[in-house]
Structure 1
Amino acid sequence: MELTRRHALAGAAAIATAPLLSAAPTKAAAPIADKQAPSYYRYKVGDIQVTVVSDGKNVFKLEDSFITNAKKDEVNAALVKAFMPPDMMTIHFAPLVINTGGKLVVIDTGNGAVSKANSKGANGLFADNFVAAGFDPKAVDLVVISHFHGDHVNGLLTADGAPAFPNAEVLVPATEWKFWMDDGEMSRAPAGRMQGLFKNNRNIFEAGLKKKVTPYEWGKEVAPGLLAVETVGHTPGHTSYVLSSGSGKVFIQSDVTNNPNPFATNPGWHAFFDQDGDVAEKTRRRVYDMVVAEKLQVQGFHYPFPGLGNVEKDGGGYRVVPAPWNPTI
């Protein structure tokens, strides 16, 4: 319909007589949020339900010593290629909760309450997100530990030093237990980080848990559907897992790599926290060749959240393709 002169004049008059809008600033409909929602993500492997529970992340300045056999310029180039900022490194942490239907199983426990306070809530969030995901620490049957680094074992204790999962049996790799509980190994540990790890592990397992742990062997099920797999190098007893149910299967890699950028794309690079860099590299290549050949999905403790992905060969390295987010379980 054409706009007639009469309509135009009527509209102009209406505008002229309308009250002026208030000059006062408008208020937002809702306050700006200052934190994320609790971070957890669920998926199924056959009849077993997996809940990935974020423990947060650690962001720190990249030092020359972080990757022991690569130049900082090379590392920065790899970070930029992966759309990550240069001169900075981000490490993610994601323990798992496995509900087999008959057992509630936790795999690794995050950085713990002290780290939550020290990092001002950047990490050490596993306990909070665990409860937010609907779990009760008293209902956990088993806690399975992959290796004895602080970001995996510190969450075994609460802020006041009590067991975080009071009714759970704590399962640890037999080789890992033997190494860290050996007084001779502790006496030979280099000053600094290694001595600190021995002290921390003794505090957790001897003082906090009072040695109430059960060592397990590789090649055996440690929980229903959860097979322990030797993946040494990162530590002497470092362990990964194959979770199987029905036709479903996922490889839980623990610390075979840290953040896949740059450690999957450059599997020959050695991180300073790999206790034996050469062995860790051989393990990394062996494991990733296996998951590529068998087309196994991989759950990575240090992958960006929620850490489930698929791996493919990419030149001399590997590319991790994140699994699509599924809004249903």
Structure 2
Amino acid sequence: MNIDRRLLLAGFGGVALSGLPRVSLAATSAKVGTMEVISVSDGNLVLPGAMFFDGLPQDELDSILTPLNISRAQVEPPCNVTLLRHEDRVVLFDAGSGDGFMPSAGALIDSLDAVGVAPDDITHLVFTHGHPDHLWGVLDDFDDPVFTNAEHMMGQTEWDYWTNPNTVNTIGDVRASFAVGAARRLEAVEDRMSFFSDGDEVLPGIMAHATFGHTPGHTSFEVRSGTDALLVGGDAIGNHHIAFARPDWASGADQDPDLGAVTRARLLDKLSQEKITLLGFHLPDGGVGRVERKDSGYRFVSENM
């Protein structure tokens, strides 16, 4: 696979709610046959470390986090949105968080502008899942659709979950706002939405791959041309530290932690054995890299290293 390492800055095109400037970043592009895949930044999240680290074996956890200079108190994962250009298609995987989730996120439109893409240019908007940092950017500040010319596409299982009125009562207090926000946004774009299932060819060269656990219908996407392949992983592999070193550990970031661990271990084995490039939503340096075995686990090797 041909990886083009590049750093495109849109400068200080947006201002976060905190008053700090946002830097929009398109870090790395890859060629899969004649398809161009580009990682574009939606900024980053700021999350309590407890979401990831509570309940884990503390001594072993330290041995994983310390060499990577990861704080136990707070993590700031990047948000890497995948853009694919091929022939007359301009495909965006996930819509980012928009301005309504976190001040540190919401830079997607500026980042797309940095690579010469306007929201109206997007022909297909394909969702990995319905969490705020992946879905809430689908509407603007006036609750109008942002990607006006795009066919919106989501896995049927994921759609059914977030549009079920009972989800808000079963998802737990911490995520209740996720359910309310998802239902409102999905209702607004329902007439633009089409659905797929595991194993479907969503678009030519793009296959849906069920990676349930992070959410009930989370989907990753295998982009393939002959022997060239790249996995748009979404949040199925949600970080570059414990998810790789100990994929069997349950993660509080997953709605079904046990299923998430099973899915993660299966994906890492597939990616390492078949040498498939990974583009992870919350992985460092643009999120494009390869998975290698390390000791009893794995490691993420960024293409920007």
TM-score by length of 1: 0.81
Residue correspondence of structure 1 range 143-292 to structure 2 within 5 A:
143-190=125-172, 192-206=173-187, 208-292=188-272
How has the CA–CA distance of structure 1 residues 199 and 320 changed in structure 2, closer, same or farther, with 3 Å as cutoff? Answer: same
Is the 2:234–2:281 Cα contact (8 Å) retained in structure 1?
yes
For 1:168 and 1:268, the matched residues in 2 are separated by 38
Contact kept, 8 Å, 1:45 with 1:248, in 2: the verdict is: yes
Larger Rg computed on CA atoms: 1
Q: How many angstroms does 1:67 deviate by?
A: 3.2
Instruction: Give the number of the structure whose residues are more often strand, by fraction.
Output: 2
In structure 2, runs of 5+ residues without a counterpart are 1-11, 13-19
Deviates more, 1:71-80 or 1:277-286: 71-80
| Letter in structure 1 aligned against 2:162 | W
Pick from 40, 58, 82 the counterpart of residue 68 of structure 2: 82
AA matched with 2:158? E
Residue 313 (structure 1) aligned with residue 300 (structure 2): no
- Shifted more, 296-305 versus 260-269: the winner is 260-269
Instruction: State the secondary structure of the residue aligned to 1:292.
Output: helix
Which one of 83, 106, 110 corresponds to residue 124 of structure 1? 106
| 196-205 vs 176-185, which moves further | 176-185
Q: Matched residues in 2 for 1:201 and 1:88: separation?
A: 25
Match of 1:45 in 2: 32
Given that 1:54 and 1:305 are in contact with CA atoms closer than 8 Å, whether structure 2 keeps it comes out as no
Secondary structure class of the residue paired with 2:262: helix
Instruction: Specify the SS of the correspondent of 2:76.
Output: strand
CA RMSD of aligned residues (A): 2.1
**Structure 2 CA distance, aligned partners of 1:231 and 1:286?**
9
State the Cα deviation string for residues 85-114 of structure 1 (Å, max 9, x = none): 443312111111111112111001111122
The alpha-carbon distance between structure 1 residues 68 and 62, as it changes in their structure 2 partners (threshold 3 A), is: closer
**Partner deviation per Cα, 1:99-156 (whole Å, 9 max, x = no partner):** 11121110011111223xx51xx22111111122100111211100011111110111
Is 1:142–1:169's contact at 8 Å kept on the other side of the alignment? Answer: yes
Q: Distance in 1 between matches of 2:228 and 2:264?
A: 23
Amino acid at match of 2:98: G
Q: CA 1:203–1:76 in 2, change beyond 3 Å: closer, same or farther? A: farther
Partners of 1:73 and 1:127 in 2: CA distance: 42
> 1:145-172, CA deviations, whole angstroms, 9 ceiling, x for partnerless residues?
0111111101111122111101111000
| Identity level (%) | 29
Distance 1:189 1:258, change over 3 A: closer
Name the CA distance, whole Å, in 2 between partners of 1:153 and 1:241. Answer: 17
Query: What whole-Å deviation, never above 9, does each CA across 1:263-285 have from its counterpart, x for those lacking one?
Result: 21121222222111111111111
**Residue ranges of structure 1 left out of the alignment (5+ in a row):** 1-32
- Separation of aligned partners in 2, 1:292 and 1:189: 33
**Structure 1 residue 295 corresponds to structure 2 residue 281:** no
1:100 to 72, 82, 86: 86
- Give the aligned length: 286
Q: Which amino acid aligns with 1:100?
A: H
Name the CA distance, whole Å, in 2 between partners of 1:85 and 1:277.
Answer: 22
Tell me if structure 2 keeps the 8 A contact 1:54–1:125. yes
Seen in structure 2, the aligned counterparts of structure 1 residues 82 and 160 have a Cα distance that, compared at 3 Å, is same
Compared CA separation, residues 84 and 213, structure 1 to 2 (3 A)? same
Structure 1 residue 293 displacement after superposition: 1.1
After superposing the two structures, state which structure 1 stretch, 243-252 or 172-181, moved more.
Answer: 243-252
Instruction: Give the conservation status (yes or no) of the 8 Å contact 2:22–2:107.
Output: no
